[in-house]
Chains A and B, each alone.
Chain A
Amino acid sequence: MIRAMKEIVTDHIHNITQIFKLAKADLIKTYRGAALGWWWAVIKPCMTLFTYWFAFSYGFRSGKPVEGVPFFLWMAVGITPWFYMSEMLSQGTESIRKYKYMVTKMKFPVSIIPTFVSVSKMMVNLVLFLIVMILFWCWGFAPSIYYLQIPFYVLMSFLFFTLWAQFASLMAAISQDFANLVKSFITPIFWLSGILWRTDNFTGSVWIRRFLNLNPVTFLTSGFRDALIFNKWFWETPKKCLYFACWLVVLWVLSLWAYKRLRKDIPDVL
């Protein structure tokens, strides 16, 4: 385990510039070759956002302002980080498979593949989040001191999903079943994470509510909302932070374990 950790850390340190260059290449690859190119990075999320907004406001008739903030903005804050998360759950999981030529045809530090894919997805997401913040401003909600937490939540979200991809991409490289399993969980996670509704308002059993609040995705999305809408600091809910830290540790151990077990077998099975 210690050896695996040392290997992963030194690979990242030695290849830090490569990570950014490969992330850039990944971005170029994703958005080039379409007439609208880079616009798709914005168009696709906007479509999703408007669809949900429409369904909730006119379909379910539940689009009431939250804390004086229009429902549309409230939703945008939650759903924008989710775009990164869902990309990581689907493509982060498949990252090694996608870049298999780097594994089977040359000597390459495999552990940086999930990382540079994560960096690439995060870049797009930061732009989207910036747009959301500008929207807030246009609507007349000036930035507050609580915005200072945004980098913290961005970092947490990056850490969590990069560790996730470190673990999952190795597993998915060994078994396509694992990749399919993860994919089938994306939609449930989305609906059970308080991205589109407030888990605090859940009126059923306390246990289910606790379970929903333990979900790391809930922690992250509600964190972004605390920063932009509810004006709360993350240290006001230390318990939730602790839960999240536990998640990070679990993922970290899992990723080391997967690396140790699978690193040497990956090129043989791809």
Chain B
Amino acid sequence: MQEKTVIRFSDVSKVYYLYKSSKQRLMGTLFHHAKCKTNRAVDHLSFEIHQGEAVAFLGRNGAGKSTILKMVTEVAFPTEGEIYVDGRVGALLELAAGFDPEFTGRENIYLKGHILGLHDKEIAALEEDIVAFAELGDYIDQPVRTYSSGMKARLGFSINVNIRPDILIVDEALSVGDEEFKRKCVSRINQLLTNEHMTLMFVTHAVGVAREFCSRGIVMNKGRAIFDGPIDEAIARYDQLIGKK
């Protein structure tokens, strides 16, 4: 049976405008009067993702992978085209998961919950699981600015899987975790994929990790999808792209 579509990109482009100075940028964005260079980070991209699918995005640096995930999260907006997203999105964008550095880990859990519109009671019910999964020890009550990048990723990941998103977005967040934590994440994601019917969008340069739970791969190059299909073929295509035999 074909699952319902949860993410659809129709002919989406994202253009970044590169201005020479802050003044030109102000004039440019307000009145469209300044000259500037443009960079088409995502170029006329179309694809559909169905519920329960786990899709890996592969590509070289600057290929536009993060930009795609940002657009799904609604942190960036497409210049052209339309994006349809159905369901609650949990996102770990580019390592930092959006914590307030001055607050402790625990306070950040509440802050994040409030932002998502959860009540104190609901958050309190999740708190234990989140803290246990992150395994931060006493640091959970220390300000987040004192965390190492791996610790931030742990907390961010822990929050995002425990709020039970319909769509989980992970952008290289696992690459700073140690092996043990990576394994734990992989098994948790696999469990969510099979039991909860969650949808996953995953970006990584470590193709081995992608193979562990993704069934489909999209290879990006200069803002275009040059391959979209089964993960093994996608990885082969990607290896060819980066010149690995």
Within residues 5 to 29 of chain A, which ones have a CB less than 8 A from any CB in chain B? 14-15, 17-18, 21-22, 25, 29
Chain B 99-140 per-residue mask, 1 if CB under 8 angstroms from chain A, else 0: 110110001000100110100000000000000000000000
Contact B93 A105 (CB under 8 A): yes
A176 near B: Cβ within 8 Å? yes
Least CB separation from B16: chain A residue: A268
CB under 8 Å from chain B, chain A span 103-140: 103-108
Query: In chain B between 33 and 88, which residues have their CB closer than 8 angstroms to a CB of chain A?
Result: 70, 73-77
Within 8 A of B (CB), among A243-270: 261-262, 264-265, 267-269
Say how far A141's CB is from chain B's closest CB, in angstroms. 41
Interface: B30 (CB within 8 A): yes
Chain B hits for A22, CB < 8 A: 111, 114-115
Shortest Cβ gap from A115 to chain B (Å): 14
| B114 and A106 contact, CB distance less than 8 A | no
Q: Which of B22, B29, B89 contacts A265 (CB 8 A)?
A: B29
B170 close to chain A: CB less than 8 A:
no
Q: Does A101 sit within 8 A of B, measured CB to CB?
A: yes
- In the assembled complex, which residues on chain A have CB atoms less than 8 Å from the CB atom of B23? 175, 177
Secondary structure dominating the interface of A = helix
Sort chain B's interface into a size bin.
20 to 34
A267 touches B70 (CB 8 A): yes
Specify the chain B residue showing the minimal Cβ separation from A265. B29
Contact indicator B102/A33 (Cβ below 8 Å): yes
- Partner among A18, A101, A262 whose Cβ is within 8 Å of the Cβ of B96: A101
Cα distance A268–B39 when bound, in Å?
12
Contact A103 B75 (CB under 8 A): yes
- List, in ascending order, chain B residues with CB within 8 A of A196's CB: none
Count residues of A near B (Cβ-Cβ below 8 Å). 31
Closest to A100 in B: B98
Q: In the complex, are the beta carbons of A175 and B102 less than 8 A apart?
A: no
A178 on the B face (CB < 8 A): yes
Q: Mark B10-44, 1 if CB is under 8 A from A, else 0.
A: 00000010000011011001100000000000000
Query: Quick check: A106 and B98 within 8 Å, CB to CB?
Result: yes
Minimum CB distance partner of A269 in chain B: B25
Q: Is B91 an interface residue (CB 8 A)?
A: yes
Interface core residue of B26, B70, B73, B93 (most chain A CB under 10 Å): B26
Count CB-based A-B contacts (< 8 Å). 76
Q: Which of A81-119 contact B (CB under 8 A)?
A: 101-108
Q: Which residues of B contact A189 (CB under 8 A)?
A: none
Complex Cα–Cα for A29 and B143 (A): 11
Tell me if A174 is interfacial: C-beta within 8 Å of chain B: yes
The interface residues of chain B lying within 8 Å CB-to-CB of A174 are 25-26, 29-30
Q: How far is the CA of A178 from the CA of B102 in the complex (A)?
A: 27
Question: Complex formed: what's the CA distance from A32 to B74 in Å?
Answer: 32
Of B16, B29, B97, the most chain A CB neighbours within 10 A belong to B29
Residue of A nearest to B15 (CB): A268
- Closest B residue to A15 by beta carbon equals B117
B26 contacts A178, C-beta separation under 8 Å: yes
Which residues does chain B contribute within 8 Å of A262, judged by CB atoms?
Answer: 29-30
With both beta carbons as reference points, the residue of chain A lying nearest to B99 in the complex is identified as A101
Contact B30 A25, beta carbon cutoff 8 Å: no
> Contact: B114 with A18, CB < 8 Å?
yes
Q: Are A176 and B75 in contact (CB under 8 A)?
A: no
How far in angstroms is the closest Cβ of chain B from A198? 38
Q: Is the CB of A177 within 8 A of B29?
A: no
Find out whether the CB atom of A105 lies under 8 angstroms from the CB atom of B26: no
Q: Which residues of A contact B114 (CB under 8 A)?
A: 17-18, 21-22, 25
Closest to A257 in B: B30
Nearest-CB residue, chain A, relative to B160: A106
Contact in complex: B26, A29 (CB < 8 Å): no
Are A102 and B98 closer than 8 Å at their CB atoms? yes
**Can you name 16 A-B pairs with beta carbons within 8 Å?**
A18-B117, A22-B111, A22-B115, A25-B114, A29-B102, A32-B102, A101-B96, A103-B75, A104-B75, A104-B93, A106-B75, A107-B91, A108-B115, A177-B23, A261-B29, A267-B77
Closest 7 pairs (CB-CB, A-B):
A105-B98, A264-B77, A175-B26, A107-B74, A101-B98, A21-B114, A106-B98
Chain A residues within CB distance 8 Å of chain B: 14-15, 17-18, 21-22, 25, 29, 32-33, 101-108, 171, 174-178, 261-262, 264-265, 267-269
A101-B100, A105-B98, A262-B29 given. 8 additional CB < 8 A pairs? A14-B117, A29-B103, A104-B93, A105-B75, A106-B75, A107-B73, A267-B70, A268-B16
Chain B positions within 8 Å of A, measured between CB atoms, are 16, 22-23, 25-26, 29-30, 70, 73-77, 89, 91, 93, 96-100, 102-103, 107, 111, 114-115, 117
